[in-house]
Every structure is written in C-alpha cells, then in structure tokens.
Structure 1
Amino acid sequence: MESVLMHAKKACPFLHASSASTLRGLSKSGMPSSRSMLMTRAQECPVMGKAIQTRSFSATAKPAQAAVVPAKKAFDYEAFYSEELEKKHKDKSYRYFNNINRLAQKFPLAHTASVEDEVNVWCSNDYLGMGRSPVLKDAMKRTLDRYGAGAGGTRNIAGNADLHLRLESELADLHHKEGALVFSSCYVANDDTLSVLGSRLPGCIIFSDALNHASMIQGMRHSGAQKKIFRHNDMAHLEQLLQAADPSVPKIVAFESVYSMCGSVAPIREMVALAKKYGAITFLDEVHAVGMYGPRGAGVAEHLDYDLNSRHPTMGNGSIMDEIDIITGTLGKAFGVVGGYIAGSAGFVDLVRSYGPGFIFTTSLPPVVVSGALESVKYLKSSQLERQRQQLNTRTCTVKSRLADLGIPVVPNPSHIVPVLVGDAAAAKMASDELLSDHRIYVQSINYPTVPVGHERLRITPTPGHTPEMVDSFVDAIEQLWKRHDFKRVDDWTAQGGCAGVGVPDAPLVTPVWSDAQLFPNKEAEALQSVLNE
C-alpha cells in the first residue's frame, strides 16, 4: 500500500497536499483490508482511477506471485517395468517357465497344465529321483501327522527342533566336520557365510572362480571384502593372485566341485594345496555333487579318496575332505527335498549361526521337510545303487556316448551333467519348445546370463528312472531336431575353432569322476546291469 500511495501523490493534487499520516488513516478507516476507503475514492477520481487502471492496481489486488512452474510428472513405474523387460526380450535372455508337475508314482514323468498331458523330464536337479522315494515320503507323512506343517518361526524364536539337530549331526558326519548348520536354501547359506566371513575377517580378500554360482557372488558383494577372480579352474592364475596378496591378511578361496552348467569339476587337491601354501581357507560348494559322488554321497571331495573313505568313513582319516575348511551343500537336489547347509569347525559354524542374518531372521525348515532330508542323507550314506545307475545312464550305455556317436555337440566334462551346445538363444529356446510340443520331452534351454552369449545350450540330466526305451526316444528326438534345423554338430564347431570345449583342437581327454572299477566293483557289475535292464 505504501508504494501505491507514493505513486498516487505524484499524480493527484489532493493526495499531493495530504500528509502521509492522513493518507494512512484513510486507508484504515473501518474498511476491510481488501478494500480501504482511500482506494474506493481513488478509483472514483478521474485522475487516479486512470492511473490505477494503467498500473493494474485494484481494490482487491494481491501481492505479486512468482510464475507457476509446471509440476513434474510422477515417475511412471509401469513404463519402467516394460522397458526393462523389453531389454530381456531383445537380447533373448527373457526367461520362460513351463507348467511342469512331477508325478511321484511315475517320475521322471510329469504332467503339464493338463493332467492328461504327460511329458518326460530330462532336466531335473532331483538327480537320483529321491523326491519320490518311499524312504522320504513315509517318514514325512509320519512327521506331518505328529508335528504339523510349519516350523513356527525362526529357530531363534521357535527353538531348535530335535529333527534339525539330528540332521545337522548327520551332515557334519557326512563331511567329516565338527558341526553343520541347516538353512532355508543353499543360496542363503552361501550368501550368509561369505558375507559374514568377508565382513568380519579384517582386510579379508576372497579369491573366486570365474564360474562361481550367483549365491556366492552375492555373498561376496554383501561382505564388502576385496574380491579377486581367477580364470575357471586355472591354478596358475590363482597362484599368481595369491602371491600378490599381503601374506598377513585373511584370505578365502571359494570354488565349486561340480559346475552345473558345463559339468566341469574343480581340481580340489590343487586348490587346497595352494590355499594352504598362502595361508587361505577353502570354501567348497558341493551343491551339485552331494548325494552323487563318494562312497557315502558326500561329494567329489569324498570321491577323490574313494577307497579310503569306504574303509574308514570318519573325520581324521587323512582324506582331502578333512583338509577343506568349509563345505556347503543342498538338500534340494540329489537328496530330494529342499534346504541348504554349511559344515565346518564348531567355531566357524557358531560364528555364522550368531552373525548370519539369513539364518537368524528366516523361518526354519518345517519338521516335515527336515525329516525327509534326514532319511535321505542316512539312506544315501549306505546305498550306492542310485548313484551307480545314474552314472550308467549318463555315460556308459547311454546318453553321452550315444549323442557323441551322432556328432551332437556335448560339452565335454567328467560329471553327470550333459550340456548340449546350441550356440544361439533363439535356437535353444526353439529346440526346448519343439522337444516339448512334438516329442513330449521337457528340457529347459539355458541362455545368457546363466551362460555367455553364444554358449546357449540344453542342459540334460539323466536319472536312475530313465529306462532304455526313454533313452532311445530322447536320442532320436535330439537327432531329428538337429536334422530339421541343421544345428551345428561337433565338426561344425571344430571348423570354427571350437566353443565351450566342443571341437577344441588338442583338447585333453576327459576322465569321468566315477571310474569303471567304482561302477563295477568285483562281480556286482552283472547284478547292476540286470537291474538296469528290468
């Protein structure tokens, strides 16, 4: 108002002769603040009315406001989701999941969305078919009736169930260790263990194989520890990295025994020797090996001293298994249920139990699951039949050798995994789809980022339940598929210089983990062969 009055005094004779106090009084003379008597009279004045109109003053004028900036549009979450998914579609890494329902009485058969539509499963990680075994199912039914469905919470809240403690005792004994700890999955076990150790060991450096599983990679990330990656199974590269590290800092060498996408097997003895030489501890993931190798199913580390561990299956027997510091495994593959675990010294296990959030804050496995796992571990400690039959179906009379005879490109490896190289994401997906639709065979395609671009494949895992007739049908279906689409065979990959171990010049001969002597001990071979032919 003061600025209006000052301007008005210059233009109006009446206002020019009036004092400021008089004008101020007029502006407050009983009128609402929005319209004073002074402004009313000014608008009636021929001089001031025009001046006020020219300068856009009014009786109801409000203080000038800054220009209104248009509000920013809210973030479009759905558009973001679509864009990110479109990236997966474009690079052919989008994952499709089929409706597959395994049939307990008929496995490896399963049905699709329609219960009448049965297919043959050739890619299950239930490697021994233990998920359907009466050994597990009968125990689980009894446990369900006695203890119910759930666990009641974390073990911190609901307490330690006797079944959990018994299972951990069996697992510690299996791996020749002082203690074991059961988790909801081995993904959580690996993540928790490496994150706890890496974050609490001062200045820790973790040396990781380039093909280690995502769960191990995640644990290293969560640890915040320095990470050194060595080329897959390359002991010279690992030693080079270990030599460059400060001898006084804690170190972990982390690796797997069987790498599930290529079937390669780690040089465990050499790995342990290097770790000891440079003051590191060893972290061995036996997820794809437990139940499958060794005289009691403890994994590849046990299998390396097969005869010794057969005769003296106890901690301190001098086997390489005793020298490994940490072993992790799963209950969800060869053991047929779900869950994961770690095994090691009593102090190590207690450290992870006390500091691992994945263990502390996750509801424990239900007793019904634990009882099944317990019976499976105990059973496979004494039964070799399932392991031997699976190995025979994989290599001797069957899948690997027969595909090789046809020039189908199987990635060479000494394990039970049968990776068939396709080399293109779209082609691998098409092969999977056609096997299912045309041949009633379920094999999932494996694309990036699980394997590198150009290494796409079908990952096949024969089980003891696959009959010779099923093997015939499978091999015939693969051959038809390769002919129809002219997929590359071994000779084609050789002409290109090789890929993923297929067609590589002067490649070393692959020796299976299971020797013929172990598969056919004494006169048991004839009996085993007769079982296979039943």
Structure 2
Amino acid sequence: MEALTRASMNVCPFVKSTSTQAMRKLANNSGLITKAQVCPVLGPALQSKREYSTPSKVVQAQASDNLAKAPASATAAAVTSSAQILNNFNSNEAAFDYDGSFKDQVSKKREDKSYRYFNNINRLAKEFPKAHLAEEDDKVMVWCSNDYLGMGKNEKLLQVMNKTMLKYGTGAGGTRNIAGHNRHAIALEGELAALHKKEGALVFSSCFVANDAVLSLLGQKYKDLVIFSDELNHASMIVGIRNSRAKKHIFKHNNLEQLEAQLAMYPKSTPKLIAFESVYSMCGSVAPIEAICDLADKYGALTFLDEVHAVGMYGPHGAGVAEHLDFEAHLKSGVASPNYKTVMDRVDMITGTLGKSFGTVGGYIAASANMIDWIRSFAPGFIFTTTLPPALMAGTTESIRIVRRNIEDRINQQLNVRYVKKQFADLGIPVIPNPSHIVPLLVGNAADAKQASDALLEQYKIYVQAINFPTVSTGEERLRITPSPHHSKEVSDQLIEAVDSLWSDMRLKRVADWENIGGHCGVGKLNAKPVENLWTDELLNLRNGDLNENVIDPIVRQLETSSGVRV
C-alpha cells in the first residue's frame, strides 16, 4: 500500500495537483472517498471485494475519526459509509497460526533429540553437593553444578546476606539512575576492581547482560570497529557482537595464525577488538591469553576476556587464568600489583560472573577508570536494568574476600578433578582432554546423551545434565562433569563406578572405539601431546599460609567510577 501511495504521487494528476493540507482536509471529512469513487482506477476497486488481507485497524481508525468529527446530521450517512468500507476490506484469508508454528518448531527439536527437559533439582545448602527432586526425601548427588567451590552454602556468606536483607529489604528499588546508588554496590565494585587489579569495575544483573551491553556499545559508538571472535565464544558474546553491528571475523578456536592473518587485513589505525574466553566451559580448553595480547599490541587492538568459568578457581587469589599466568608474582604481592606489567594488566576488559564460583548471581566488567565511566554513562544494558538487591551485593563482596584468602579450596577442587579424570582414563571412558577443571565425557549423539543422563539420575541418583545442540555442535554431545572441593573420594568412586557400568550397558564408545575411527573432539587422537594442567604439581602443594598477609582483611578503596566521576 505504501508503494502504491508513493507511485500515485508521481503519476496521479489529482494527487500531484492537490496540496498536502487539502488532502488532509478531504480525508477528515470523507471527501477523499467521494473523489476516489470517480477515479478510473480506485473507483472499480472500491466497488469490488478484495481477495487479500488489509490492516483492519487503520480502516477502523478512519471510521472512528470520521464519526467523531462529522456533524450530527451526517452521522447516519457516515456510519453507512464506514460499514460499506469495512465490508469492502474484508479478507478471505485466515490469521497466521502462531500456536501451531510454535508447536511445530518444538516438535522438530523433539525429533532431532535436542529438546531439553529441565529436571526438578533443589540444591540443599547444608548437604551440598546433594539436592532433592520433587519430593524432599528423594535425594541425588549433583555433579554438574557451576557453583564450583560450593560458596552457595557458605555460612559466613549466608549470615551477611540475611543481616543485610533484614536491614535494607529484599530489592534495590529500581535502576541506579532512578533508585540511587548504595554502599553495597560501591563496596562490591571496589572489591572486583581490586581482585583484577584494575582501576574500575561495574556490576550488571548477569554476565550475559554485561557481555552483550559492552560489546554492542563498542560497535555502536565506533562505527569503524572490527571485532575478531573465537568460534567457541559464549552465546552472550555472539549476541553482543551481532547487536554491535560491527564488522566481524570469526577465527578457529585458539588459532593464532588465522587470527593474525585476519588482523593483518586492516591498518593499525583501524579500531579493533579481540573477544575470547579464558576457560571454554563445554570442552575445558584454555585460551593462549598472553599470545593474544601480543597480537593485540602488534595490530592495535583492544582485548575483551571473558573469565566466567575461571574466576574463583585460577590464580593465587581466584582472579582467573590471566592472574594464574603470573602466579608467583601475584602470590608474593597479594592484593597489591607486582612491579611489572602482568598479563592481567595487558588485558583491556575482563568480564566475569558472580553466579558460579562466588555462589550468588550477577555479572561484571573490570577495566580502566575511563572505560568503566564510559560504559556506565552509555550502556543501555546497565542504565535501564534494575540494580541487584543489597543483600546479594553484600553477600557477594563477602564471598570474594573469602575466596581470595582460601587457596586451599582451589587446590582441593583441582585434586578432585585430577582423581576423577585419572580413574576415567584408566577405564577408557572418553574424557575430552583439557587442562582445566571441566570433565566432558564424549557421547557423540543427542539421543544417547539424554538417555545416559536419565539413567544416571533414575538408576544411580546422580545428576549430570546432557549437553547438546546448540550449546555444542551436532555429533559432539556430551555429559559435563564439574567436581568441587566437596566431592569426596567416596562420592567420586560412586560416580566412576556408575559411569563405567552405564557405558557398558549402553555400549557407548570408549577411547579405543574412538581411536578406531580416527578420533573425535581430541578423544582417541593418535600421537596426541599430553595435556599440561594449569595447576602444576608444585602449585598444588601450596596452603593458605603461603598467601601474603595483606589478603586476609584488605582495605579496598571506594571507586569514584561507581558513583560517577566528578569534574
């Protein structure tokens, strides 16, 4: 209809010779319809019944306007005219079947076995890592939680949250722009900046929101920006890059040669950003952070590092893999910065979550003071999102301080991970090789992965969620196991025995079977180099007493960027 209107403005003698004001007047008093009826084109069209859909809302609005503005004596004629017009615009077509479309699309997911059913898992704080199902006496052992250190049950954290909630209530009352700032946000952002040894930090409702908000803002503000993204990046980063509308290049996972070739396509003066993760949660691989920083320096790019699955578990204080790479220096300096530029210093932006190792919920970004103030001032994902509740922020601040000074939790987790991986290796259970805390068991198809997950839950009271498309590619379906410091040897042995029996009962491929077909996802690959764990044997001998005393109860300065920098 819009195209017809535009065309008529050029060819119709009446439209070309009539002013906009006159046309509007004719439309208001129904004179336009009279004129149209004598038109050789529109006249016959108005007399015939249309065979296609037309927006009825517009026609109804015209009729309503006519009745409202017409003189009282003309009301009856206007009603008759309006009814005739509505009748002429009736459609023989049925409305789109939205509900049927939804059902069809979900049915396709059921057919390809990628449909996901959420089990009723109720984590028990006092019995972690246990949970109960629908009935409280029906308990299972959870082996796939991202509460990697079990901080969700920490007594000190629970006390702080309860005390804060009773004093300040359950919610923040709105966004910071509306409800104002508070001491809990100031303290938390100061703690996060200190953890990553950055000038500033900003808290979001989740790290998904943080990644989307920051990446999309960068592309929208810098129109010439080119983003280089690892092919295995999390969905939040993919969405943020897409929403940025920036030009992008996707490089193969951890492939520095391809990344450099892509970077070299542009002048150094062109704004660039390399987006990647430290630990990739579904396969457990780790990014070559220092080498990526080298390329960023060489080609003039910013670095955006997602440490979601690394904070709390790597580095002497739990700041992530970037801290881990200068382990000795950070161990000695504690909350202070080493006397040289570390890998963590070289990374421009670090994002992380509060909902995994820190045991609460939320996300954040740590960066320079200027960048944090810029994001705070321009990112819709921050400006228009309700602030996290005071109790949650206070509890998270306490959690970060506990995690920082407790290296033994990180070490005990790694010891449990090593034990589980070794036992599986001895039994030929196909663990996708990696240097991190993730234990992915390769299954290879969605139906078997779902059946294996169900069998573990129903027969062995063990909860391990099946991972399928789109989280992983089709044909790479797996069970993802995440040992914590609280999974004892006895509990681990129960898991190992159950998985071994299940693999035999279902006749799932073991390592030798994958070898016979040339290997897959790193499993059964001949002449593969042994994987070196991030936590070395030497580091696993450390104890809390080896930490610098300044990490016990550090005084963390208030960040000016949290409230807004005063001029």
TM-score, normalising length from structure 2?
A: 0.80
Letter in 1 for 2:246: A
1:430-456 Cα shifts (integer Å, max 9, x gaps): 000000000000000000111111100
Q: Are the equivalent residues in 2 in contact too, given 1:419–1:457 (CA < 8 A)?
A: yes
What is the correspondence of 1:345-384 to structure 2 with a 5 Å cutoff? 345-384=368-407
Corresponding residue number in structure 1 for 2:361: 338
Corresponding residue number in structure 2 for 1:329: 352
Q: Are the equivalent residues in 1 in contact too, given 2:305–2:350 (CA < 8 A)?
A: yes
Find the residue that maps to 1:327 and give its secondary structure.
strand
Cα distance in 2 between the residues matched to 1:146 and 1:523: 33
1:272-297 Cα shifts (integer Å, max 9, x gaps): 00111000010000000000000110
Q: Are the equivalent residues in 2 in contact too, given 1:176–1:316 (CA < 8 A)?
A: no
Cα distance in 1 between the residues matched to 2:530 and 2:426: 16
What is the correspondence of 1:34-433 to structure 2 with a 5 Å cutoff? 65-67=47-49, 69=51, 71-313=92-334, 314-315=336-337, 317-318=339-340, 319-395=342-418, 398-433=419-454
Q: Are the equivalent residues in 2 in contact too, given 1:425–1:454 (CA < 8 A)?
A: yes
Find the residue that maps to 1:105 and give its secondary structure.
helix
State the aligned residue count: 460
Letter in 1 for 2:320: G
Cα distance in 2 between the residues matched to 1:210 and 1:245: 20
Please report how far the alpha carbon of residue 68 of structure 1 lies from its aligned counterpart in structure 2 after TM superposition: 6.5
User: Cα–Cα, structure 1 residues 517 and 249, in superposed 2: closer, same or farther, change >3 Å?
Assistant: same
Letter in 1 for 2:298: K
Cα distance in 1 between the residues matched to 2:229 and 2:49: 58
Cα distance in 2 between the residues matched to 1:144 and 1:258: 34
1:101-136 Cα shifts (integer Å, max 9, x gaps): 000000100000111100000000000000000121
1:407-463 Cα shifts (integer Å, max 9, x gaps): 000000000000000001000000000000000000000001111111000000011
Letter in 1 for 2:392: V
Cα distance in 2 between the residues matched to 1:333 and 1:362: 21
Q: Are the equivalent residues in 1 in contact too, given 2:144–2:481 (CA < 8 A)?
A: yes
1:177-222 Cα shifts (integer Å, max 9, x gaps): 0000000000000000001112112300000001000000000011
Please report how far the alpha carbon of residue 316 of structure 1 lies from its aligned counterpart in structure 2 after TM superposition: 5.8
Q: Are the equivalent residues in 2 in contact too, given 1:316–1:322 (CA < 8 A)?
A: no
Cα distance in 2 between the residues matched to 1:302 and 1:140: 28
Corresponding residue number in structure 1 for 2:477: 456
- Equivalent of 1:481, from 487, 502, 505? 502
Q: Are the equivalent residues in 2 in contact too, given 1:177–1:315 (CA < 8 A)?
A: no
Please report how far the alpha carbon of residue 141 of structure 1 lies from its aligned counterpart in structure 2 after TM superposition: 0.9
Find the residue that maps to 1:516 and give its secondary structure.
coil
Q: Are the equivalent residues in 1 in contact too, given 2:405–2:544 (CA < 8 A)?
A: no
Cα distance in 1 between the residues matched to 2:206 and 2:399: 16
Cα distance in 2 between the residues matched to 1:258 and 1:73: 51
Cα distance in 2 between the residues matched to 1:355 and 1:90: 44
Corresponding residue number in structure 1 for 2:525: 504
Find the residue that maps to 1:511 and give its secondary structure.
coil
Cα distance in 2 between the residues matched to 1:257 and 1:523: 25
Cα distance in 1 between the residues matched to 2:185 and 2:47: 70
Please report how far the alpha carbon of residue 351 of structure 1 lies from its aligned counterpart in structure 2 after TM superposition: 1.1
Q: Are the equivalent residues in 2 in contact too, given 1:294–1:303 (CA < 8 A)?
A: yes
Please report how far the alpha carbon of residue 66 of structure 1 lies from its aligned counterpart in structure 2 after TM superposition: 2.7
Cα distance in 1 between the residues matched to 2:323 and 2:145: 24
Find the residue that maps to 2:538 and give its secondary structure.
helix
Find the residue that maps to 1:477 and give its secondary structure.
helix
Letter in 2 for 1:345: S
Letter in 2 for 1:117: D
Please report how far the alpha carbon of residue 315 of structure 1 lies from its aligned counterpart in structure 2 after TM superposition: 3.6
Cα distance in 1 between the residues matched to 2:484 and 2:50: 70
Cα distance in 2 between the residues matched to 1:524 and 1:436: 40
* Ranges of 4+ aligned residues in structure 1 off by more than 4 Å: 522-525
Cα distance in 2 between the residues matched to 1:105 and 1:463: 15
Identity of paired residues, percent? Answer: 57
Q: Which moves more between the two structures, 81-90 or 99-108?
A: 81-90
Please report how far the alpha carbon of residue 247 of structure 1 lies from its aligned counterpart in structure 2 after TM superposition: 2.1
Cα distance in 1 between the residues matched to 2:92 and 2:376: 51
Please report how far the alpha carbon of residue 387 of structure 1 lies from its aligned counterpart in structure 2 after TM superposition: 0.6
Corresponding residue number in structure 1 for 2:5: none
Cα distance in 2 between the residues matched to 1:365 and 1:275: 34
Cα distance in 2 between the residues matched to 1:251 and 1:489: 43
- Equivalent of 1:472, from 446, 468, 493? 493
Q: Are the equivalent residues in 1 in contact too, given 2:407–2:544 (CA < 8 A)?
A: no
Q: Which moves more between the two structures, 377-386 or 262-271?
A: 377-386
Cα distance in 2 between the residues matched to 1:284 and 1:523: 28
Q: Are the equivalent residues in 1 in contact too, given 2:413–2:485 (CA < 8 A)?
A: yes
Cα distance in 2 between the residues matched to 1:429 and 1:470: 23
Q: Are the equivalent residues in 2 in contact too, given 1:173–1:315 (CA < 8 A)?
A: no
Q: Are the equivalent residues in 1 in contact too, given 2:514–2:524 (CA < 8 A)?
A: yes
Larger radius of gyration: 1
Q: Are the equivalent residues in 1 in contact too, given 2:229–2:248 (CA < 8 A)?
A: yes
Corresponding residue number in structure 1 for 2:534: 513
Unaligned runs of 5+ in 2: 1-45, 52-90, 547-567
Q: Are the equivalent residues in 1 in contact too, given 2:408–2:543 (CA < 8 A)?
A: no
1:125-180 Cα shifts (integer Å, max 9, x gaps): 00000000012101101101111101100011111111101110111011110000
